[in-house]
Structure 1
């Protein structure tokens, strides 16, 4: 076979998973509370590792970049065209951003050495929050040291066991974890199906009368797995009709959607005041690290004093706040970067579709999936692309169902037409060299 798993190979792979390898420490008895193999997903994790090893495939994960990862990078001393980083507008490494961060290091040091509520604030924190609130047309904003923790602590703190969270099934893990932490009833609806969203929210509100005090409708502005967006006006309408808050995660929207990169509201011509809670990250377009919430002043003031992920966490380092603030200033001053990103996203999408690749529902912005349907084939394709000087992300089982395993291209405004041509050609060559590959044993069941 051309790289697939024959029946005998499948049986050997499963046998390999079930027997203890020589040299390993004795495992606790089956059923013991100390047995790590009973952890959720541990068997699937072991299956994937064993599959890569048995097929002599290098892991596509944890690729070590030698330096700055922009539109181009270096992996293991080899130059690559880089489609695996979120440096959407090429601002990570921009001399102005570096200068702002270095000036903050000189003045404030590297670490804030404590939480803002107890160890004091720095001016870059306040300046960045004012700028983010202005960007979203809100009264105030609050920054956090982690984007993932922003969603976890905001949703976990905002909602409670008597409440309901209705969310897109493709929502980010941080949102799911926040809803789980809150204890609220969590109701997913099929991706971007607004009719289903309304049905679920209406049913949740009817069925919880006298029990549920709050409801949250939760969507992303630009989905990181599929590269598409929700109908924001419909989201606002549904939330208002059913007396729910609307929260929009703009992690992959800021600097990407809209003529000037202000996000999904600008892209769709929707009044941003219809959204109760805007969330975003600082690690993509804004070339720093962390996250933020923007909304009404009373919400933000309450979170500043009570949200566990803010009160009990170290503050965002001042150099990162300064870098994000300068990146935001450049975004506002140079909208041509957003236009180049949009042209590159649509350009690569159209090139790949013309060659017969399945790019799903991507609108051709910063995120472009290539759905291959087999984790083994996806891993082989990633390795073949890296050999050809193209770095991409892989998303395989169990992170997604086996039939939707994919490569993900993250596009930058700094990619050239030649980069896009070379990527499309390399993908075609890689597909031809890998051929048809079977799925992992049991993964599609």
Structure 2
């Protein structure tokens, strides 16, 4: 992490200066490493030290890497204390469902814990094909491929499909994995204003003829803001300018649409408008990994050329089995989606009534509480945790300075009473901090 808690440039410089003077009265140091071996000069190292020093100076304990001592759903146990939990992607409460656990255990009994090799070599198992067929059917696509990491899926697929002569156009708030994939590809990369299809059109109109292939990338449900794009409009733009359209559904599957089928269902659009559907197995599908669904020729190419698939061990059989069973339950029990969406809508309404800025959240699964100051966000998260509500602060530079926030992930497992209690705790913590500042 490289957050600086919203410190001014002068305060940050003072912290760094103080850090640089540490140890001046300690035992003589060993001979200094050469610049090539000095880990203190690695990118981000000094910012990490400044962030830690700022947290200590402000009396804020780091909210990161807290161990959850059991299943993290609507509630979780942290430090032997039960908390209302808004920091997990367990949207439909399937992580811990006995049927999902049983599917994973059966796969272990049949195939073992690991695939033990890349699938191209000898890691292929029948459960892989079953999961991929189910995901392809979910999107009405011809085929699908699964990989061991959601982040690596975007990196390796975008990095493989595009090259230096090509163009990648993406939303300004796109996930880091897309940015890293674009960087790996060497393609020209242009970011357009968030959810602004007209800005995307202007960029494509100006740049398209200068490049060989073009890829337009958006997300189905943006994890920092909880909003969503106009799929039909972006699809029109892509087709008008002979570009491929890719949609990252990491936070959309199981969350958007009346039955959780994602952005296309939410927008009432044909899923065939999208050339590349990408998603992860680690959220609604309570597993780990990523997938790409699309035309058969695309999937066949990736199976034989994408480095993150060809040179990586195959998806662990119990993870494939748990994702497959979660997908089956998603389709069989749409009431889970309805409950999630009702919970998110309730949280959104109560947060707004309490005077919190929730941005443009659609209230479908993710609701930010935007506080502006990184210090304020960190302190409010600490106060909420002390009162039994676990929510993560999102600080600069993960979001732009001045837009630090608390990010609430809702679950079908939350009760209306827990949501009301949490909003009340948040408002009380905010008002208490305001009184302290006034005094």
TM normalised by structure 1 equals 0.93
Q: Name the CA shift for 1:16/1:343 in 2 (closer, same or farther; >3 Å).
A: same
TM-superposed deviation, 1:122? 1.0
1:9: how far off?
A: 7.2
Note the C-alpha offset of 1:11.
7.2
CA contact (8 A) 1:376 1:437 kept: no
Match of 1:156 among 159, 170, 176: 159
Q: Secondary structure at the match of 2:402?
A: helix
- 1:85-96 matches, cutoff 5 A: 85-96=88-99
Within the alignment, does 1:235 sit opposite 2:237 as a pair?
Answer: no
SS of residue matched to 1:86: coil
Work out which of the residue numbers 12, 15, 18 in structure 1 matches 2:17: 15
Change (3 A) 1:35 1:6: closer
Written as runs of structure 1 = structure 2, the 5 A alignment for 1:119-134 is: 119-134=122-137
Change (3 A) 1:429 1:312: same
| Distance 1:8-1:434 versus aligned 2 partners, 3 A rule | farther
Q: Greater CA deviation, 41-50 or 389-398?
A: 41-50
Structure 1 gaps of 5+ residues are 439-445
Aligned counterpart, 1:279: 278
Distance across 2 between alignment mates of 1:47 and 1:204: 41
C-alpha distance 27-175 of structure 1, shift in aligned 2 (>3 A):
farther
Preserved CA contact (<8 Å) 1:16 1:50 = no
User: Are 1:170 and 2:169 counterparts?
Assistant: no
Q: Indicate the RMSD between aligned Cα atoms, in angstroms.
A: 2.2
Aligned to 1:337: 336
Normalising by structure 2, we get a TM-score of 0.94
Where does residue 410 of structure 1 map in the other structure?
409
Q: 1:282 to 1:6 in 2, by over 3 A?
A: closer
Deviations 1:19-71 (A, max 9, x none): 344669669579x3334344333333222111101112110111111111010
Partners in 2 of 1:119 and 1:5 — Cα distance?
A: 52
- Note the residue ranges of structure 2 that are not aligned, 5 or more in a row: none
Quick one: structure 1 residues 6 and 397, their matched pair in 2 at CA, closer, same or farther if it must change by over 3 Å? closer
Partner residue, 2:362: 363
Q: Is 86-95 or 43-52 further displaced after alignment?
A: 43-52
Answer whether contact 1:4 1:436 (CA < 8 A) is retained. no
| Distance change (3 Å), C-alpha of 1:55 and 1:221 | same
- The alignment of Structure 1 onto Structure 2 pairs a total of residues equal to 431
1:104 maps to what in 2?
107
Structure 1 residues 226-375: aligned runs within 5 Å: 226-375=225-374
Retained in 2: the 8 A contact 1:382–1:392? yes
Over 3 Å counting, the alpha-carbon distance change for 1:204 and 1:57 in structure 2 is same
Q: Distance in 2 between matches of 1:128 and 1:179?
A: 28
Q: Deviations over 1:133-184 (max 9, x none)?
A: 0000100000000000000000000100100100001000000000000000
d(CA) in 2 for partners of 1:240, 1:147 = 27
The 3-state SS of whatever aligns with 2:372 is: coil
Is 2:390 the partner of 1:391? yes
Using the alignment, how far apart are the partners of 2:436 and 2:231 within structure 1? 39
